[in-house]
Every structure is written in structure tokens, then in C-alpha cells.
Amino acid sequence: MATKTGEGFSSSFGAIMAAAGSAVGLGNIWRFPYICGKYGGGAFLLVYICFVFFIGMVLMMSEFVIGRRSGEDPVKAYPKLQPKRKGWRYVGIMGLITCFLILAIYLVISGWTLNYFWESLTGTLASISNDGFGKHFSEFASSAGRPVLFVILFLVFTAFVIIGGVEKGIERVSKLLMPILVVLLLILCVRSLTLDGASEGLAYLFHPDFSKLTGEGILAALGQALFSLSVGMGVMIVYGSYLPVDDNIMKSSIWITICDFAIAVLSGIAIFPAVFACGQDPTGGPGLVYQVLPVVFNSLGTVGRIFSVVFFLLLSLAALTSAISLLEALTQWLSSEKIGRTISAIVMSAAVVVLAVIASFSFGDGIFSGFKIANMQIFDLLDKLTGTILPPICALLTIIFFGWFMNKDDIYDELSNHKTLKIGYFKVFYYFLARFVAPLALIIVLVAGLFGK
Ligand code: PFF
């Protein structure tokens, strides 16, 4: 194992499951379908595929290389690989701050999801009339007690796994949950596709409408690609430091990327046909999952109730494996400062829950909703920062470090597992992408997104 603490994944399969667990989350099932619908369906999908495979995947490989080569947390990894330029540690620090902010907002949405799972199970959702779900969601999400309770509950599950350790906690839980997640999703896809009128939903998802693909949509595609693959904030550096020495980084990254992409598309297939078949509005935005899908489930009778439980369970499990990776990044850093793993996990959880509660209170008509920074409620500000601004900036700096400041021989040595693997032309192609294509694309999209309009 590469890390100083001796923690690490026991096998490549376990490592792939854990990293795929980090990648597959609310981003795939809650966010991807509604953004894809908003920015032109198939047109968005085309741009998204390019960003995922030519930028996101390249970043994932780069972060794995940085992590495994250094065997350090993101703050120490950069200066260890480039001792003459210690300033690079700030990229690691910025990544961890991004993780902290993402985790706060992630916990809020995961809390909603857990509540909806509970309400499906107990029959509360089934007792609401179809036009009452909008009100139900906004009243619930803006209230003070219940969302916070579910945030804390979700965080306790997450911290519990982290305290279990890398192999016995994260790896074990991911190996168990990921296959369950795929099976649940496939069941939902089959049901959705066999509903009358399902084809309209598929057309909505796959038919390219380039008129809706704006500059903002392209930036959203990039932000979504990075967010969905969990790259650009150092989490994959952390998991890279846990990779077994004989893991084939290129192969694993390709598998994780394919898995993440496939699950996003499958989520779209599970959601849109059902939404159309039940005559609901596909442009429901962030509320799609909480306001529109319950109507869909209710109109399917008893079967719908079962599907509602399955869906919200699926979403909660997906969110859990992603939240685990975010809390692990923060815990690894703190515990590398000679503080025990358990204490580190508890301290980080306590710190992040404060921000999560503030974010929750600032949502909708919550008690902090009047408090604004840069004319935005705290929840919206966090969403914007973590969705489209910080990850692309961190990603750009990471890829510049990798392509221009890291020793090329070190990179090849790490990718080829000390020359025991043949990586041939692929390494040339990959290095070219990492050095020129990815940074350039990131700069163009970032500048256009931040200063354009
Ligand atoms: N990739 C996760 C998702 O799609 O929901 C979210 C995420 C996890 C983002 C971990 C960033 C991260 F570091």
C-alpha cells in the first residue's frame, strides 16, 4: 500500500467499486436528467460525452497517478512530486475546501432523499394528492426540524463507514452497494420503458435540440462532467493513494468512466419515459425528482409505491457512496496531521454539518432565506460555486500541474506499473490530451462561462 498509514484498497475490483461509488451519485440520478432536459437532450448529451471522455477521464487518470505516485493527501501530494514548487499545495487546499462545500450541500439533498425514502416506505407520499407534491416539497425543505434530522442521520451513516477504514469500511460497503444499485436501476428502466407512451420520453432525452444548447449549457456540461466523475477536487488523488500497486490505472479509469456515464444515461431512461407516460412536465428542474416523480409513482398504483421505495432507496445509496468519498478526503487530510482516523472523521463531520444546516435553513422560504451573499441565498451560492466554478478551476490547475510540471518519466512509470504493462500509443494520445486539449478546453469553457453573455 502506498500511503504512510498503510491504509488502502485490497484489490483492483474493490478500488473500481469505491471510485465508481464516488462517481455515481446524486449527480447522475438527480442532476443529470434535469440538466440534460434543460439544455437540449441529445445535443447536451453529445457535448457531455466529449467532456466526460476527453477531459473528465483524463483528469481521473491524472489524479490517480498523482495520488499513487505520491502516496499522500492532496495538500502534500503536489509538493512531494514537485519539491521546488511548494506553492502547488494551494491547489490541494482549494480542492479540499471544494470538497467541504460540496459535502455540505450534498448532505442537504441526501437528507431530502432519505426523508422521501422514509415517506415512501411509510405511505405518506402515497396519501398526497397529485397537485400537492410541489407544496409538500417546499414546505418540507424550508422547514427547520425535519430536513436537519435527516441530514444528521445521513451523516452518521457516512461517518460510520469512514471510521470503519478504507478496506473494511469504504471498499466493503462499495462492493456491496454498487451491484445493488445497478440492479435497482435496471428494474426501474424496464418498468419505465414498458409504460404506454414511453417512446416520447426517450425522444426527449436523445433527440438533439441544438437551439437549447447555449454557452451556459456548455459550461453546465463541463461542470456536470467533472462533478459526476468526482474529479477536480482531489478526491481521486485520495483514492489514487489507496490504489493497489499493480492496479492498471488506465484500465480502471476507463471502466469507472464508462460505468458513471452509463448510469447517468440509464437514470434518464428510468425517469423521462415515466414522466411523459404520466403526462408530467419534464422540465421540472431540481424539483423533478421530489415533485414530479412522486406523481408518476402515485399514478402507477401499488406497483408505483414499490417503485417509489426502490427509487428513493437507490438515490440514497448512490448518495451515500459519494458522500463517503468526500468525507474521506477531508478525514485523510486531517488524520495525516497525526490525529486518529475516528477523531478526524468526527471533527470533520461536526464542522460540515454546521454549514449543511445553514444551507438547509437558507433554502426556499427557510429561516435564513433572507440572508444573501452576492444577491444569492447561501444554498444557491454553494450550488453555483460547487457546480460550475470551483471544480473547473481546480481541474485546470491539476491538469496543468500534471502536464507541465510533473516529471514525464514518473508519469509513464506509474501508468505502466514500473514498465510491467505495455501502454504503447495510448500514452502518447493521453499525454497529448492532458497537456494540450484538456487545459485549453477548460480555459475556453471557463472564460466563456464566467465572462461571456
Ligand atoms: N460524483 C458525485 C455525483 O455525481 O453525485 C458527486 C461528487 C462526489 C462530487 C465526490 C465530487 C466529489 F469529490
Please indicate whether residue 390, judged by its CB atom, sits closer than 6 Å to ligand 1. Answer: no
Q: What is the pLDDT of residue 5?
A: 61
Please indicate whether residue 102, judged by its CB atom, sits closer than 6 Å to ligand 1. Answer: yes
Please indicate whether residue 158, judged by its CB atom, sits closer than 6 Å to ligand 1. Answer: no
Alpha-carbon span 401 to 410, nearest angstrom: 13
Alpha-carbon span 68 to 64, nearest angstrom: 6
Considering the entire predicted model, what is its pTM? Answer: 0.94
* Helix (H/G/I), strand (E/B), else coil: 338: coil
- Nearest CA, atom 11, ligand 1: 230
The b/e string for 362-391 (b: 16+ C-beta within 10 A; e otherwise) is bbbebebeeeeeeeebbbbbbbebbbbbbb
Tell the burial category of 306 from Cβ atoms under 10 Å away from its Cβ (0-12, 13-18, 19+): middle
- At residue 302 the predicted structure's pLDDT band, cuts being 50, 70 and 90, is confident
Q: Which atom of ligand 1 is nearest to the CA of 30?
A: 5
- From the CA of 169, how far away is ligand 1's center (Å)? 18
Mean pLDDT of 399-425: 90
For 130-141, how does the pLDDT look when each residue is reduced to its tens digit (9 = 90+)?
A: 889 889 998 998
60, 178, 227: which to mutate for ligand 1, most atoms within 8 A of CB?
227
**16-20, 324-328, 390-394, 421-425 — which is least confidently predicted?**
421-425
State yes or no: pLDDT of 1 exceeds 50.
no
For 34-92, how does the pLDDT look when each residue is reduced to its tens digit (9 = 90+)?
A: 888 888 888 999 999 999 999 999 999 999 999 999 999 999 999 999 999 889 999 99
Cα–chain-centroid distance for residue 41?
20
Tell the burial category of 342 from Cβ atoms under 10 Å away from its Cβ (0-12, 13-18, 19+): middle
The answer to whether the beta carbons of residues 57 and 223 sit under 8 Å apart is no
